[in-house]
Amino acid sequence: MPVRRRWPELRIVLPFAAVAAALWAFVWLAGEVVDGDTTRFDRHLLLALRSPADPSDPLGPLWFEQIARDVTALGSVAVLTLVTVSVLTYLALAGRRAAALLVGLCVGGGWVVTEILKTIFARPRPDLVPHGTSVFSASFPSSHAAMSAVVYLTLGALLARVEPGRGTKLFLMGGAVALTLLVGVSRVYLAVHWPSDVVAGWTVGAGWAVLCWSVTRALQRRGRVEKDTGGRNGASGEGPPPVVGGG
- How is the chain split into domains, by residue range? 70-228
Q: What pTM value is reported for the model? A: 0.83
pLDDT, residue 3, reads 45
Q: Would the pLDDT of 207 be above 80?
A: yes
Q: How many CB atoms lie within 10 A of CB 36?
A: 9
CA 63 from chain centre, in angstroms, equals 27
Measured distance CA(188)–CA(179) in Å, rounded: 15
Please confirm whether the linkage preceding 52 is cis (ω < 30° from 0): no
Measured on CA atoms in the order 144, 149, 150, 152, is the torsion positive or negative? positive
Per-residue b/e over 140-171, b at no fewer than 16 CB within 10 Å? bbbbbbbbbbbbbbbbbbbbbbbbeeeeebee
Banded model confidence at residue 10, pLDDT cuts 50, 70, 90: low
Measured distance CA(31)–CA(18) in Å, rounded: 20
Lowest pLDDT segment from 99-108, 115-124, 149-158, 238-247 = 238-247
Q: Would the pLDDT of 239 be above 60?
A: no
For the segment 63-87, the average pLDDT, to the nearest whole number, is 94
pLDDT, residue 140, reads 94
Residue pair 109/153 in contact (Cβ under 8 Å)? The answer is no
Phi/psi class of residue 124: alpha, beta or left (left: φ > 0; alpha: ψ in -120 to 50)?
beta
